Amino acid sequence: MSYEKLANAVKYVRWMQERDLDVFAVVTSKKGFGKSSTLIQFVRKIIAMYGLSCAACGGEWVYTGRTIGVKGLDLNTVWEPCPHCKNKNRSLIGPTQTLDLDKYTGWDYEDVREKIMNLPPYSPLMLDEAVRFMMGEDWMRSESKDMKKLFTQMRTKHLAVFGAIPKFQWMDSKYRNDMTTFWIRILKRSFVVLVQPDLGEAEDPWHMKEFQKILGHYDYHTDAERLYKVADRLVAKHPCVFDHFRIPPVPDELYAKYLRLRDKKAYEEKVEDVDKKDLGKVIIYHLSENWDYFLEQILKTSSKRPTQKLIATVLCKHPLPDREPILNQSSVGHYIKDVQRIVRNNSP
């Protein structure tokens, strides 16, 4: 089966990037319809079409040269210096052979923030569970407010950001109506319609009532052929729907890797979600009872300062034997960044 339309959608994403337009695509569907798979396949296709790697340092990045209007773009022949090690040996630079899922995934607020700041230009970034901060019920949270400001940097770095959420209307209206440039609605597993907002003065830039009317009712037993006809009608009659296509299945090995990463990050978040008073009590306990050992370990470090690892393994160690740590090294880092951000934002 041909998946040429997915490649065409990725070319359109690149067209927008090269014209300094924001790219924030939101994937929606019921649970189990393949939101994560759709995110992975868009990012995977971008890397397959535009990804480069350097044999000298192992660095990977997305080609930053012009692609629109270039016929027969071939990553085996295009070339640019490695942005990581500055290598200029053409023979050591070629197409990226693998997809680094962790590199191109924002797992939580801090991770999204860090990757928007540090990913090379033209990189894709997928937000799966991390899209929670865009939900309307969280619009007052500091993370949501900060992220709105941070998203303005997407255009200057030409990033292509893909997020997933069960229902489009759950998003905060600022994200949905002002910042989203693509809506990818999964009608059934592996089959999507592609929607862009009306740039006129319509009160609802997505013409949602018209979309709902044309889409009509369907359920888990609805025949696929009927949905294909509905998708054709959406493209023909809805002012914002301009294409529909199938998404290829994610290779089993890649999806298993994604699940392992997601479970690992979920565990870290679970460890981090600890009662702040209990955490404070434990830290005070260790400072009182284990200060000599803590100081001894600090003096062994090259910087003579407490590292994140030391804070996690000594000050955040559960005081009872054979228990999981109260806070791990990654979470300690998140806490430090949170406080640094609060101090920075409230400094005179």
pLDDT, tens digit, for every residue of 290-299? 999 999 999 9
CA distance 149 to 141: 13
Structural domain boundaries, residue 166 = 4-265
% of residues, the chain, pLDDT over 70: 89
Domain tally for the chain?
Answer: 2
Q: Is 302 found in the same domain as 215?
A: no
Domain boundary pick from 247, 265, 283: 265
For residues 202 and 315, membership in a common domain is answered with no
What's the rounded mean pLDDT across residues 128-145?
A: 60
Same domain, 292 and 199: no
Residue 342: predicted pLDDT: 77
Q: Choose the weakest-confidence range: 17-21, 146-150, 305-309.
A: 146-150
Q: Do residues 77 and 210 share a domain?
A: yes
Q: Are 130 and 216 found together in one domain? A: yes
Same domain flag for 56 and 95: yes
**pLDDT digit string, tens, across residues 151-199:** 777 788 999 999 999 899 988 888 899 889 999 999 999 999 999 999 9
> Would the pLDDT of 207 be above 90?
yes
- From 242, 265, 288, give the residue that closes a domain: 265
Domain match, 24 and 74 both: yes
- Asked if residue 10 and residue 32 are part of one domain, the reply reads yes
Q: Which residue, among 135, 152, 153, has the nearest Cα to 144 in the 3D structure? A: 135
In three-state secondary structure terms, 340 is: helix
Judgement on whether residues 70 and 196 belong to the same structural domain of the protein = yes
Of 215, 246, 265, at which residue does a domain stop?
265
Same domain, 146 and 205: yes
Q: pTM surpassing 0.75? A: yes
pLDDT tens-place string over residues 259-268 = 998 887 765 5
pLDDT at position 256, please? Answer: 94
CA distance 107 to 118: 15
* 86 shares a domain with 19: yes
Tell me the pLDDT tens digit for each residue of 220-248. 999 999 999 999 999 999 999 999 999 99
The average pLDDT across 271-281 equals 65
Same domain, 167 and 78: yes
pLDDT at 18 over 90: yes
pLDDT over 50 at 67, yes or no: yes
Interatomic CA distance for residues 28 and 192, integer angstroms: 10
